[in-house]
Chains A and B, each alone.
Chain A
Amino acid sequence: MDTPHLLSIKGLEVRFRTEDGEVTPVRGVTLSVAAGETVALVGESGSGKSVTSLATMGLLPRPAGRVSGGQILFRRRSGEVTDLVTLPLPELRKLRGSEIAMIFQEPMTSLNPVLTVGEQIAESVRLHMGIGHGAALRRAEEMLGLVEIPNARDRIHEYPHQMSGGMRQRVMIALAMSCNPALLIADEPTTALDVTIQAQILALIARLQRDLGMGVLFITHNLGVVAEVADRVTVMYAGQVVETGSVKDIFQAPRHPYTSALLNCLPARARHREDGRRVVQSIPGSVEFVKEGCSFAPRCTLAADICRTGAVTLDDETERSVRCLRWREVLA
C-alpha cells in the first residue's frame, strides 16, 4: 500500500441472524475514501449501503448483526492504520464522534428529545476534547453558528422539538463536526428534507468539507445528489459493489447495466433517452440473492446464459472497476 487511504474497506462481509435464518446483506464490499474526498455510495433500498456504513461505525444492531469477513482500515490522526473490525470496543469508542462522525437520515428522530441541542453537542465535545462544561457549551454555540443557525446563543438551550427538520439536520451536522472528524459518514442526510432545504444542507456539507478537509462517505439513492457532491462513486447492488469510478466516468460512461438503468431513471435523462429500452425489470424491494452467476442477471435485460452461471467478479480493484462479464460487448 503506497499512500494509504483515510478509509479503505476490503472484502467486507456482514451477516444478520433473522427468524428465517442467516442473511448476508453485505457480500465482499470494497471501497475507499481519501482525505478531502467525497465518495458517494449509491444503491437502492436493501442494497447494503447503510449496513456498510453502520459496520464502519461498529453500530450494527446487536446481537443480530456482525461483520463476518473483510477489513475496515482507517488511518488515524496519529498516522497509524487500524482495522476497525478487530478494534476492541473501548478503542473504537474513542474514534467514534472524534475521528469518525456520522449523520443519519432522520433528523426528526435522531436527536434526543429530552436534552437540549446544546447539551447534546457539548456532551460529545467534553468527552473527546476533555474540556469543561462551560467551554463545551461555548463550542456548541460556535458549531451552531458554523452550520448557519441564527441566534446560536439562545438556540443551544432549545429542545429538538422546538426546531424544524432542516434545523435539526443542521444540529446533527454541528454535532458530527464538533470534534473535527477526519471522516464523515453521511447516511442519506437529505432524504427526509424537502428540496430547497436539501440544497442548503448539501451546500453546507460541501463547504464544511472544503474548510476542514474531511473525507466524506455519502450514502444516497439519489443520483441527482451524487452529481452535486461526489468526487467518486461506488454503486452497490444486492450487497455487492457493481461499479466504481469517478463521478465523470459514472455519469458519462457507465459500464454496468445497473448503473445505466439508475441513470436512465433521472428525469433529465428520461426525457431524451434515445431508444427507450428498459434495463431494469421487476420492482425493486426484495432483491433476489443469486447463488450462481451475476446478482443482477434476473433483472437485467441484457443478461445472457453466461451471466447466470459464470463467476462474476469485480474486474479490478483500482479506481475504475465493474462487476459485469459482458460490459465490453454491451457498451459496444
Chain B
Amino acid sequence: MWLKLGQRLVSLMIVMFLVATMVFFLTRLAPGDPAALMLGDQATAEDIAQLRQVYGLDKPILVQFVLWLKEIASGNLGHSIFLQRPVIQAIAERAEPTFFLALFSVTIAALVGIPAGIVSAVWRGRPVDQIVSGLAMLAANIPSFWLGLIFIQLFAVRLGWFPVAGYGEPGAPFVERLAHLALPATVLGIVNSALIVRFTRASLLDVLSDDYVRTARSKGLSEARVVLRHAFGNALVPIVTVVALTAALLVGGAIVTETVFGLPGIGNLVVSAVLRRDYPVIQGALIVVAAVYVLINLLTDIIYTLADPRVRY
C-alpha cells in the first residue's frame, strides 16, 4: 500500500515536471521581449540589456530553465513585475474567492445533478425524464456570462437579495464575503450540473439492467433501496470522475464568471497578468493550478478505492 502510494507520488512529480517544462517554454515561445515590454517605448538598448541581466534573460534558455526549475522546486515562484510582490503572495491573496467559488459551485452542481440524473434514469422515457433531460441540455448550452447577467439583474438589482458584484471590502466579515459568492456559485452550479445529470443518468441506466439489480429485486427490496443502494453504488465511479473533473476545472478559475461578478480570483489574476505580460505571475499561477489539478486526481483515485472494492492500487 505504502509502496504503491510512493510510486504514485513519484509519477505525480514527473507530471509536475512536464507541466513546468511546458509552462516555461510556451511562455518563452510567446512573441516579444519581456524586458522591452516592461520598460516601454522610451527605453534605451542599455536599459533593456541591464534589465535582461537582472532577470537572467541574457543567459542561454536552457540555463534559464534550470535556474527557474531550481527556484520553483524550492517553492519560490518568482516576483511579479507589475504587482511588486512575490507571485506566491499574489496567488494566495486571490485563492480564497476561487477556492470557495469552486467548492460551492461543485456542491450545488452535484446536489442538483446527481438526484436529477437518478430520477431521469429511473423514469427513463417518461415525462419527468424528458423534462430533466431537456433542462440539462438547456443548462449545458447556456453561456455562463449571460445567466450571470440575468441573475444579477433579477436577484441583485431588482430583488436586492444579494450583492451585485465584488467580494466585499477588504477585511469584511467572512459571511459577507460568502454572500458575494451566492449568485456566481449558483450560476456555475447550474451550468456544470448538466454534465453531471447526463453522466449520472447514463451510468445508472447502464447498471440498472445488470444481473445483481434483478437479484436485489428478487430479495423483495423496495425499489428505492434497489436503486439507491444496489444500482447507485455501482454507478458511482463515473459520477465521482465527472464531479472531480468539474471541481478541477473550476479551481483553474472560472474566468468568465469571475469577470462578470467582479470577483478577485485566480482567473481574474491570470487575465490581468496576460494583459500586462506579467510572465512570472502567468507561470506561477499555471504551476499552482496544475498542482491542484494533480492533487484532485490523486484524491479521486483514493475515492475510487472506497467506492469500488475491486479497485486496488
**Once the chains are docked, how many angstroms separate the CA of A94 from the CA of B222?**
10
**Once the chains are docked, how many angstroms separate the CA of A114 from the CA of B212?**
10
Contacts of A123 in B (CB 8 A): 219, 221
Instruction: Say which residue of B222, B234, B308 sits within 8 Å of A93 (CB atoms).
Output: B222
In the bound complex, do residue B211 and residue A104 qualify as a contact, i.e. CB atoms below 8 Å apart? yes
Contact A113-B212, Cβ < 8 Å, known A159-B309, A161-B309, A161-B310 = yes
In the bound complex, do residue B212 and residue A128 qualify as a contact, i.e. CB atoms below 8 Å apart? no
In the bound complex, do residue A159 and residue B211 qualify as a contact, i.e. CB atoms below 8 Å apart? no
**Once the chains are docked, how many angstroms separate the CA of A98 from the CA of B215?**
13
Instruction: Say which residue of A96, A106, A115 sits within 8 Å of B211 (CB atoms).
Output: A106
A322 contacts partner chain B, Cβ-Cβ < 8 Å:
no
In the bound complex, do residue B211 and residue A109 qualify as a contact, i.e. CB atoms below 8 Å apart? yes
A175 contacts partner chain B, Cβ-Cβ < 8 Å:
yes
Most buried by A among B210, B219, B308: B219
How many whole Å from B308's CB to the nearest CB in chain A? 6
Q: Mark B105-131, 1 if CB is under 8 A from A, else 0.
A: 000000000000000000000000000
**Once the chains are docked, how many angstroms separate the CA of A98 from the CA of B220?**
8
A102 contacts partner chain B, Cβ-Cβ < 8 Å:
yes
In the bound complex, do residue B234 and residue A112 qualify as a contact, i.e. CB atoms below 8 Å apart? yes
Contact A114-B309, Cβ < 8 Å, known A59-B214, A104-B214, A104-B215 = yes
In the bound complex, do residue A124 and residue B219 qualify as a contact, i.e. CB atoms below 8 Å apart? yes
In the bound complex, do residue B218 and residue A97 qualify as a contact, i.e. CB atoms below 8 Å apart? yes
**Once the chains are docked, how many angstroms separate the CA of A316 from the CA of B85?**
97
Contacts of B229 in A (CB 8 A): 115
A212 contacts partner chain B, Cβ-Cβ < 8 Å:
no
Contact A93-B215, Cβ < 8 Å, known A112-B230, A114-B234 = no
How many residue pairs at the A-B interface have CB separations less than 8 Å?
Answer: 71
A229 contacts partner chain B, Cβ-Cβ < 8 Å:
no
A6 contacts partner chain B, Cβ-Cβ < 8 Å:
no
Residue of A nearest to B309 (CB): A159
Q: Mark A62-98, 1 if CB is under 8 A from B, else 0.
A: 0000000000000000000000000000000111111
Contacts of A61 in B (CB 8 A): 209
Most buried by A among B210, B212, B218, B229: B218
Instruction: Say which residue of B219, B220, B234, B310 sits within 8 Å of A159 (CB atoms).
Output: B310
Q: Mark B155-191, 1 if CB is under 8 A from A, else 0.
A: 0000000000000000000000000000000000000
**Once the chains are docked, how many angstroms separate the CA of A96 from the CA of B212?**
15
In the bound complex, do residue A109 and residue B212 qualify as a contact, i.e. CB atoms below 8 Å apart? yes
Instruction: Say which residue of B212, B217, B310 sits within 8 Å of A111 (CB atoms).
Output: B212
Residue of A nearest to B210 (CB): A109
Contacts of A101 in B (CB 8 A): 218
How many whole Å from B133's CB to the nearest CB in chain A? 18
Interface residues of B in 208-263 (CB under 8 A from A): 209-212, 214-222, 229-230, 233-234, 236
**Once the chains are docked, how many angstroms separate the CA of A112 from the CA of B231?**
9
In the bound complex, do residue A113 and residue B218 qualify as a contact, i.e. CB atoms below 8 Å apart? no
In the bound complex, do residue A114 and residue B307 qualify as a contact, i.e. CB atoms below 8 Å apart? yes
**Once the chains are docked, how many angstroms separate the CA of A95 from the CA of B217?**
11
A253 contacts partner chain B, Cβ-Cβ < 8 Å:
no
**Once the chains are docked, how many angstroms separate the CA of A94 from the CA of B236?**
29
In the bound complex, do residue A102 and residue B220 qualify as a contact, i.e. CB atoms below 8 Å apart? no
**Once the chains are docked, how many angstroms separate the CA of A110 from the CA of B229?**
15
In the bound complex, do residue B212 and residue A127 qualify as a contact, i.e. CB atoms below 8 Å apart? no
In the bound complex, do residue B234 and residue A96 qualify as a contact, i.e. CB atoms below 8 Å apart? no
Contact A113-B219, Cβ < 8 Å, known A104-B211, A104-B214, A106-B211 = no
Contact A115-B233, Cβ < 8 Å, known A109-B210, A161-B309, A161-B310 = yes
**Once the chains are docked, how many angstroms separate the CA of A63 from the CA of B220?**
19
A307 contacts partner chain B, Cβ-Cβ < 8 Å:
no
How many whole Å from A227's CB to the nearest CB in chain B? 28
In the bound complex, do residue A93 and residue B211 qualify as a contact, i.e. CB atoms below 8 Å apart? no
In the bound complex, do residue A113 and residue B310 qualify as a contact, i.e. CB atoms below 8 Å apart? yes
How many whole Å from B215's CB to the nearest CB in chain A? 5
**Once the chains are docked, how many angstroms separate the CA of A57 from the CA of B214?**
10
Contacts of A175 in B (CB 8 A): 215, 219
In the bound complex, do residue B211 and residue A102 qualify as a contact, i.e. CB atoms below 8 Å apart? no
In the bound complex, do residue A112 and residue B219 qualify as a contact, i.e. CB atoms below 8 Å apart? no
In the bound complex, do residue A57 and residue B218 qualify as a contact, i.e. CB atoms below 8 Å apart? yes
Instruction: Say which residue of B218, B233, B310 sits within 8 Å of A59 (CB atoms).
Output: B218
Residue of B nearest to A111 (CB): B212
Interface residues of B in 277-313 (CB under 8 A from A): 307-310
In the bound complex, do residue A113 and residue B308 qualify as a contact, i.e. CB atoms below 8 Å apart? yes
Contacts of B222 in A (CB 8 A): 93
In the bound complex, do residue B212 and residue A110 qualify as a contact, i.e. CB atoms below 8 Å apart? yes
**Once the chains are docked, how many angstroms separate the CA of A251 from the CA of B211?**
34
Apart from A112-B212, A128-B220: 7 A-B pairs, beta carbons within 8 A: A96-B217, A96-B220, A112-B215, A113-B212, A114-B308, A115-B229, A159-B310
